[in-house]
Chain A
Amino acid sequence: MSPDTSPHPSREDLFAYRDGELTADRRHLIEAHVVGCRACREAIDEISALEAQLRLAPDGVEEGYFDQLTERTMERVRAADPIPRVERRRSVAEVAAEETRRRPRFAWPALTAAVGAAATVIVVVGLLIRQERVWRSAPNVTVLERSAPDAARQGARSDTTVSPPPPLPGSAPVPAEKDASKEQRQDGVATTGAKKDAAAPPAVSQEPLAKSEAGEAKIKLRDETAPEVASPRAEEEVRTQAAGNLSQETARRGAPPIVGDAPAESAYQTALRRFALPPVWGPGVSDDLVLRAEPSLRNLYRTGGAATALDSARVRLYLAEASRIRLGSASPDSATTEDILRHYRRAIQLGASDPVTQNTARARLEEFELEITEP
């Protein structure tokens, strides 16, 4: 065979040809060259031989390791999905069906709220129109200058409340503010505006809101289309109520409040705070608390919820301790022993940035190793 004198293909093409990753046209082209080019054939052979050596490397694990790995993996798989898939599917379908059945029932409160809000707006608009008539009779005062701030104040207050209707002009807005401050404690996100309103004098703090509400009030006065105006308001109330429910739910679950520039709390910190546990396990920590916190911490471990290496190290330290507490004075079986050892070792590795975590894990690992080797 005569040597191929065409230029060598690029290494990318040559290796892609070897890997069977080229299109038919390209493959034929490269093949035509490789068949007659010794250098290219040798380059392919060399890479093939090196990769074959890498593939030949034994696994480097003890006998039975893969079966143990499977067991441990399946434990985690089952624990991560405690509801069998079939049941979960059924329950999802049931929930969907239930939602459909519920929808008409949910429509009543929404409708009631909408009608209530519409009625309120009609009353407000009526009062404003009456005021307008009075103001029109007063000298040197325009409609907008007088009516807008009042309407704005009503609107601003109704935004900070959940269900009560907006107070009539001149009535005391105390319950609304009380509700707003209560909600603010529960969820800083949903009530940032409410917080500002409660903290600052209304005349200053509500200015941006007052402007937009003023615009709204002006439209109401000119169009007098109460039902059309009331509908978005009703929707807004429903949304506010939903946000309130959500914030209560968030508060109930112990999610961190996000207020101002305070740094966000990690999932690990939240879990610990819920159980009043210190950041790093220590000998003084109550066994009972550790066991109570274990499911939450285990969940963080399984789902990768511990965002940083240090959090992960500390979670592992707690999990190792929880396993030891549950073990009591009994001798651990090989799977439990391995689990505990693994947690301590990883805590030592991942906790490198914090001497307290690392040293605690190291000391506990040594103690545990002594325990399991002693007869």
Chain B
Amino acid sequence: MTPSRPDHSTLTDDELVRLIREGGPDAFEELVRRTRRPAYRLARRITRNHEDADDVVQESFVKAYQAIDRFTLGKAIAPWMLTIVARTALSSIRQSKRRAATPLDEPGPDGSAPLSERIADPASDAGALARRLAVERAFATLSEEHRVILALRVEGDLPYASIAEALAIPIGTVMSRLARAREALAEAMSPLRKAVADES
């Protein structure tokens, strides 16, 4: 009979990190569980495909485990983790120039359902789905620079300081780039907004 895994879910970030430093990978699994979803979503937004995002997340966790001694106790672990994810994702998209966006209405490279279906929530009405698709379309038209910084803010909910660290840019640049990205998103939505209104 295999021993049951200890429950680390109630530990604070600091307690968890101390346990990882002392004990090893078992406690680290809890950290993976806590941050895997935002990590994946962030990686997915940056790499724009599932395969790469999947790879990026795994690589990022391996890096985080190896660098856990450098984590500053007293800070939240999620922004630290997501900064690693962002950097790994950026490195991944720079390594390969292939990275075309998966079109919204075409099947994924592995034959999976098109993105429009994957982001369709059966519980939501047609109008809500149309609005969400419109925003996704607008987001997909943004430059890489704008998509990345918006993804860090939206999916990671990262403070400006963490975004600055992830992108290796000053905080002032984070402020201006994020503002431009948001304006670009709003601008890209303008023509789509009318179409959504017509559809619904």
A73 in the interface, Cβ–Cβ < 8 Å? yes
Residue numbers of A with Cβ under 8 A of B are 10-12, 14-16, 19, 21, 46-47, 50-51, 53-61, 66, 69-70, 72-74, 76-78, 80-81, 84-86, 302, 304, 308-309, 312, 341-342, 345-346, 349-350, 352
Say whether, besides A53-B131, A54-B154, A58-B119, A302 and B62 are in contact (CB < 8 Å). yes
Residue numbers of B with Cβ under 8 A of A are 20-25, 28-29, 32-33, 36-37, 40-41, 44, 50-51, 54-55, 57-59, 61-62, 65-66, 95-96, 98, 109-110, 115, 118-121, 131-132, 135-136, 138-139, 150, 153-155, 159-160, 175-176, 178-180, 182-183, 185-186, 189
Say whether, besides A16-B160, A349-B51, A60 and B154 are in contact (CB < 8 Å). no
Say whether, besides A73-B57, A77-B65, A342-B51, A12 and B179 are in contact (CB < 8 Å). yes
Q: Which of chain A's residues have a CB closer than 8 A to the CB of B59?
A: 304
Complex contact A11–B183 (CB within 8 A): yes
> For the complex, would chain A's binding face be called helix, strand, loop or mixed by DSSP majority?
helix
Q: Which of chain A's residues have a CB closer than 8 A to the CB of B22?
A: 85-86
> Which A-chain residue is minimally distant from B186 (CB atoms)?
A46
- In the assembled complex, the CB of A314 is this many whole angstroms from the nearest CB of chain B, namely 14
Complex contact B58–A72 (CB within 8 A): yes
Interface CB pairs A-B, < 8 A, 27: A12-B178, A15-B178, A19-B153, A51-B150, A51-B154, A53-B131, A54-B154, A56-B121, A56-B132, A57-B119, A60-B119, A61-B50, A69-B54, A70-B29, A70-B33, A73-B57, A74-B28, A76-B58, A76-B62, A81-B25, A85-B23, A85-B24, A304-B59, A308-B95, A312-B95, A342-B54, A349-B109
Complex contact B135–A53 (CB within 8 A): yes
> Which A-chain residue is minimally distant from B44 (CB atoms)?
A60
> Which B-chain residue is minimally distant from A48 (CB atoms)?
B182
Complex contact A77–B132 (CB within 8 A): no
Q: Which of chain B's residues have a CB closer than 8 A to the CB of A72?
A: 58
Q: Which of chain A's residues have a CB closer than 8 A to the CB of B51?
A: 342, 345-346, 349
Closest 3 CB pairs of A and B: A60-B118, A53-B135, A11-B179
Complex contact B66–A85 (CB within 8 A): no
- In the assembled complex, the CB of A166 is this many whole angstroms from the nearest CB of chain B, namely 47
Say whether, besides A16-B175, A58-B121, A50 and B160 are in contact (CB < 8 Å). no
Complex contact A60–B115 (CB within 8 A): yes
Partner of B96, one of A80, A84, A304, A349: A349
Q: How far is the CA of A302 from the CA of B62 in the complex (A)?
A: 8
Say whether, besides A12-B175, A80-B62, A342-B51, A69 and B135 are in contact (CB < 8 Å). no
Q: Which of chain B's residues have a CB closer than 8 A to the CB of A73?
A: 32, 36, 57-58, 61-62
Say whether, besides A50-B186, A57-B132, A57-B136, A15 and B179 are in contact (CB < 8 Å). yes
Q: How far is the CA of A16 from the CA of B182 in the complex (A)?
A: 12
